[in-house]
């Protein structure tokens, strides 16, 4: 049985957890925050009664209610250097659905250091992206070398997000994790959904390891004809 940890139990973590639990995965969901009224528009796994509850525990309770046999653990913890090893202990795949650029890069770096396949998803307004990486394939820093500054990457709270966009991007993130667990399918790609108002047209773009990247993955250039 595949084991995964999901960093962030919000707009993306919810649909990711529901999809992977339904696929029979053993899950660990991690989030230090509590449910707020303003979350409910996009974090549809939560109800008004959950306000004030820890997000990870509330999400785990919903998953157990839908899938009584599900194995899901909730950690009311922030992903950081001092907690990363405990959070990822024993897992086969790491997924990030947080709303913090620094955490996304930290999750990507930790996955490289521990040799774990990794999915990093982001959503904003009407679209988003899903990165998929694995050992010996390109890593998150092969694609983006450094995190954006606070004024360079608006959050959902700042710029807004369509609730349905979270479900679409979360579903694509779960699909990416299933591919990585199967045979590292999709490793070294980013899937882009640009604007759901104009239809759901995900584009998956392969990319190569960046020369000099700390991950050390070897470049095997994939031309359009070999994809």
Residue 73 as a binder of another protein (CB under 8 A): the answer is no
- By CB under 8 A, is residue 171 in contact with another protein? no
Pairing of strands 189-193, 72-75: unpaired
Residue 128 found at the interface with another protein (CB under 8 A): yes
Q: Does 127 bind another protein (CB under 8 A)?
A: yes
Is 194 an interacting residue with respect to another protein (CB under 8 A)?
yes
Distance of closest approach, residue 31 Cβ to another protein, in angstroms? 10
User: Does 156 participate in catalysis according to the annotation?
Assistant: yes
Q: Cβ(38)–Cβ(110) under 8 Å? A: no
> What is the three-class DSSP state of 54?
strand
Half-sphere exposure of 36 (CA within 13 A, CB side): 6
Please give the DSSP secondary-structure letter assigned to residue 213.
-
Please, what is the minimum distance in Å from the beta carbon of residue 101 to another protein? 4
Angle CA 175–173–67, to nearest 5: 70
Assess 121 for contact with another protein (CB under 8 A): yes
Q: Where do we find the tokens 């899950």?
A: 27
Q: Report the interface residues with another protein, using CB under 8 A.
A: 8, 10-13, 96-101, 104, 121-129, 143-148, 152-156, 159, 161, 190, 192, 194-195, 198, 203, 205-208, 210, 221, 223-224
């Amino acid at each position: 049985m595949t084991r995964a940890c999901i960093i962030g139990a919000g707009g993306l973590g919810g649909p990711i957890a529901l999809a992977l639990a339904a696929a029979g995965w053993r899950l660990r969901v991690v989030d230090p925050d509590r449910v707020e009224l303003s979350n409910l528009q996009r974090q549809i796994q939560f109800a008004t009664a959950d306000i004030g509850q820890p997000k990870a525990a509330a999400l785990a309770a919903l998953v157990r209610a839908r899938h009584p046999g599900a194995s899901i653990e909730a950690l009311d913890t922030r992903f950081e250097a001092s907690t990363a090893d405990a959070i990822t202990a024993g897992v086969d795949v790491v997924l990030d659905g947080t709303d913090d650029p620094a955490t996304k890069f930290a999750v990507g770096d930790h996955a490289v250091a521990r040799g774990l396949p990794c999915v990093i998803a982001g959503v904003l307004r009407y679209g988003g992206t899903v990165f998929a990486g694995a050992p010996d394939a390109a890593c998150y820093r092969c694609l983006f070398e450094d995190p954006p500054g606070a004024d360079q990457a608006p959050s959902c709270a700042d710029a807004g997000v369509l609730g349905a966009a979270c479900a679409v991007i979360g579903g694509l993130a779960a699909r990416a994790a299933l591919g990585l667990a199967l045979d590292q399918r999709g490793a070294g790609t980013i899937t882009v959904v640009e604007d759901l108002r104009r239809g759901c047209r995900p584009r998956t773009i392969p990319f190569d390891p960046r020369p000099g990247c700390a991950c050390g993955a070897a470049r095997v250039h994939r031309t359009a004809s070999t994809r």
